[in-house]
């Protein structure tokens, strides 16, 4: 099973301490005082800032069997529902009505049924179950996605369908010859090498979540984790927890403790400005005009070190700034490396983006002429540097392509018999499993939903809706959904074509030595991602490439 990144690429600027613990919030209750009646409860299982996932459980606590159910609520301005499952949905302005599918409306006494949905913006309020008011106002508690996924009914029969075309994966991460390795330890050495050719001082930061406690904090050079403290309702400066980095042509080794998931930042010439709130750490977001780090050259890698080993990637999901390779040496002495750019690759990415009129403004240059970063399309749009509706016509074309034919989604490479079949009705694409049961529905996404793989394409950590959402987002981002009716499929040669191509994704992948990158949140669909893993890590590495 491919590693699920603990730090989701759908990021919020503030990492909340509440987001480290799975909390079930019971917020709606329909229980008239005069007599027993059916109840409805809402549980928010995930909130990642730009979106959230909730589920509603209806229990027949009345005296008679139920033949149907209907749950209604209102969303505040800016709120929206994207994907939903095990329910039908009708939308009238800000009022939403969920009703049973044809197979889950009948509930005997004490029986229950659960349906779910992904949304963005404000949370539900003014709940009614079968016309009766629910107690509570729809308030929810932020949580992380569940680590154990619910399952749905197993497929019973498979209709005949075209097999997915063969997929050519990019080259595997480079495997270096065996070498001497450090002994096994719960403190992993991380060697950071500066081959940039640049003369500025480098500053490193190892920040993340302690997976043993759920606390957010920082790590010093020796590998000691410390919880963040001292936040306020208005962001206040965080303590300086920088670690001196390597000068050009040299390396430094810092330590990473086991059961940590987070980021390793590297900045050039100036320390980063982190802030603390009562909720957690405010991380740099240079696409936001008021961010104090907007004129600093910096980047980061993402990692998780736990019982499964080390997972580390170089990320371009938000921006392409400091090219760097990531590596891990296992107990067998072999080193896996990915993320290295081709010689001159950074400049070629910059030149290609500047040459694409729709993307050109996403190249951010400091007053002294230093190109600081190329913003990913979603971040460029957020900053007013790119048309926020760039993909809208392509999305509509792709959605409409499946009005009269099926989209076949085969989300698991090792389970080719697990298939889902999508068909569009209006703006909704409904998916059935091989038994004909409707298992997921998706409202037509916006350009922002595609760039962020959220909102209408929000992917819960389950075994049905999330994998379909991931597949849809990858196909739309790679511009293949309108052309390939089995997904995921195609090869890198099929990606990033058409009238509105994702130039950012294309040129970054084109300029990687092994073709691998994290140019959007679900670039790991079809194994295009720049991630390496070892179940027995002995040494990690980050090499800052020449530019």
With contact defined as beta carbons under 8 Å apart, do 96 and 76 qualify? no
- Region of 121 please: left (phi>0), alpha (psi -120 to 50) or beta: left
Rounded to whole angstroms, the Cα distance separating 134 from 73 reads 10
Q: Are 235 and 275 in contact (CB under 8 A)?
A: yes
CB atoms within 10 A of CB 471: 25
CB 245 within 8 A of CB 266: yes
3-state secondary structure 97-119: EEECCCCCCCECCCCEEEEEEEE
Please pick, among 55, 86, 318, 382, the residue that the annotation labels catalytic: 318
| H or E stretch covering 254 | strand 251-257
- Quick one: which of 26, 113, 128 has its CA closest to 73? 128
**Side-chain-facing half-sphere of 479: CA atoms under 13 Å:** 20
Q: Name the pairing type of β-strands 420-425 and 309-314.
A: unpaired
Is 302 in the active site? yes
What share of residues in the chain are helix, strand, coil (percent, to 5)?
A: 10, 35, 55
Instruction: Provide the 3-class DSSP secondary structure of residue 505.
Output: helix
- 387 vs 398: CA distance, rounded Å: 19
200 annotated active-site: no
Cross-strand partners of 175: 336
Contact call for residues 47 and 142 (beta carbons, < 8 A): yes
DSSP 523: T
Within 13 Å and on the Cβ side, how many CA atoms surround 325?
25
Closest C-alpha among 250, 339, 273 to residue 303? 339
Report d(CA 543, CA 420) in Å as an integer.
41
Phi/psi for 450 (5° steps) reads: -70, -50
The catalytic residue among 55, 302, 454, 523 is: 302
Residue by residue, what is the 3-state secondary structure of 260-328?
EEEEEEEEECCCCCCEEECCEEECCCCCCCCCCCCCCEEEEEEEEEECCEEEEEECCCCEECCCEEEEE
Question: Which positions are annotated as active-site residues?
Answer: 302, 318
């Amino acid at each position: 099973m491919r590693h699920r990144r603990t730090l989701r690429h759908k990021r919020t600027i503030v990492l909340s301490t509440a987001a480290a613990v799975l909390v079930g919030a019971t917020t709606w209750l329909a229980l008239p005082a005069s007599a027993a009646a059916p109840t409805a409860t809402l549980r928010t299982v995930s909130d990642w800032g730009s979106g959230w996932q909730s589920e509603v459980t209806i229990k027949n606590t009345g005296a008679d069997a139920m033949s149907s159910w209907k749950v209604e609520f209102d969303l505040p301005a800016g709120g929206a529902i994207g994907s939903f499952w095990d329910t039908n949905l009708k939308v009238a302005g800000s009022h939403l009505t969920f009703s049973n599918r044809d197979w889950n409306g009948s509930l005997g006494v004490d029986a229950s049924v659960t349906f779910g949905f992904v949304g963005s913006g404000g949370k539900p309020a003014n709940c009614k179950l079968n016309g009766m008011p629910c107690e509570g106002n729809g308030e929810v508690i932020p949580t992380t996605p569940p680590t154990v996924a619910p399952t749905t009914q197993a497929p019973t029969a498979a209709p005949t369908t075209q097999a997915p075309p063969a997929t050519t994966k990019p080259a595997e991460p480079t495997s270096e010859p065996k070498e001497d390795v450090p002994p096994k330890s719960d403190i992993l050495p991380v060697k950071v090498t500066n081959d940039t050719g640049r003369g500025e001082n480098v500053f490193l930061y190892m920040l993340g979540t302690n997976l043993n406690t759920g606390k957010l904090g920082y790590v010093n050079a020796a590998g000691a984790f410390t919880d963040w403290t001292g936040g306020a309702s208005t962001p206040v400066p965080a303590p300086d927890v920088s670690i001196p980095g390597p000068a050009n042509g040299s390396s430094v080794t810092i330590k990473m403790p086991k059961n940590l998931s987070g980021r390793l930042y590297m900045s050039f010439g100036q320390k980063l400005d982190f802030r603390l709130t009562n909720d957690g750490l405010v991380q740099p977001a240079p696409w936001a005009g008021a961010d104090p780090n907007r004129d600093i050259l910096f980047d980061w890698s993402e990692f998780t070190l736990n019982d499964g080993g080390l997972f580390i990637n170089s990320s371009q999901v938000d921006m392409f700034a400091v090219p760097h390779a990531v590596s891990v040496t296992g107990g067998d002495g072999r080193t896996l490396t990915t993320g290295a750019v081709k010689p001159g690759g950074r400049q070629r990415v910059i030149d290609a983006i500047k040459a694409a009129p729709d993307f050109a403004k996403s190249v951010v240059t400091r007053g002294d002429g230093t190109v600081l970063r190329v913003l990913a399309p979603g971040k460029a749009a957020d900053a007013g540097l790119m048309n926020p509706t760039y993909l809208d016509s392509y999305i509509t074309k792709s959605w409409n392509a499946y009005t009269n034919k099926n989209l076949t989604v085969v989300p698991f490479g090792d389970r080719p018999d697990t298939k889902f079949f999508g068909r569009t009705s209006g703006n909704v694409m409904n998916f059935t499993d091989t038994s004909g049961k409707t298992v997921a529905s998706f409202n037509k996404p916006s350009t922002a939903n595609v760039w962020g793989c959220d909102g209408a394409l929000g992917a819960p950590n389950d075994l049905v809706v999330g994998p379909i959402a991931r597949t849809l987002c990858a196909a739309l981002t790679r511009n293949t959904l309108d052309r390939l009716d089995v997904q995921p499929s195609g090869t890198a040669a099929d990606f990033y074509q058409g009238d509105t191509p994702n130039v950012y994704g294309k040129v970054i992948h084109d300029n990687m030595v092994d073709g691998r990158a994290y140019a959007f949140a679900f670039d790991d669909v079809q194994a295009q991602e720049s991630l390496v893993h070892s179940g027995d890590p002995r040494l990690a590495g980050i090499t800052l490439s020449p530019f």
